Amino acid sequence: EAPFGMSSLEVLSIFNGNFTNRDYNSALPFGRWLLIAHPKTMELPGNATYRADRTFSRMITVYDEISKQQSDPVLREAYIDSAHALFKQVLEIFDENEIDRYRWTFDYGRFLQTQRDIDNNEMLAAEQYMKLYEKDSERLVTEANGYYIQFIVDQFIRNEMREEAIALMAETEPVAGPETLEFYSRMRDRLFSNP
């Protein structure tokens, strides 16, 4: 049952209106219903197209923004967990033809990287960035002047994955920019001067 006996279109309209006005608490029940009732498709009048991935993206923002309003750490963590679960759900239910998987995986990595309430968040973010590396290595190595490949190498070193870090640096050196090469040089100095 849709909230207040509304049609799907009315629910979508109210959700989008509340989201646009940054009234995240009011948007929450409508968005939650949309994800359950219309996780991928919805009939819209005329030639309008329902973008289910946009609804997921907006609900991730809703949960993230509401989490920032919570003073109770348990509540904050619950909202962050909900956003986290939605990222996983999107990557499970949508295929390459329905979403830009590179962008979604990238956004998931960025989300994990910024969420201190998620255990081992930085290494989990590095795992998502590694998926992007496997999909399009040159793009990831050059993205943001090499920030993300440097982040992965740094996480490998911090998590005592020395061999993986050395292998990744060697593999990416041919396409790495000057900032990344300088970073690699510093990391190698650290690795090889440390017994």
User: pLDDT digits over 68-97, tens only?
Assistant: 999 999 999 999 999 999 999 999 999 999
Q: Which two tokens stand for residue 87?
A: 């990222």
Tell me how many degrees the CA angle 26-79-99 measures, rounded to the nearest 5: 85
What's the pTM value of the predicted model, to 2 decimals? 0.91
The tens digit of pLDDT for each residue in 123-182 reads: 999 999 999 999 999 999 999 999 999 999 999 999 999 999 999 999 999 999 999 999
What residues contact residue 166 under an 8 Å CB cut-off, 6+ apart?
188, 191
The pLDDT tens digits of the residues spanning 48-71 come to: 999 999 999 999 999 999 999 999
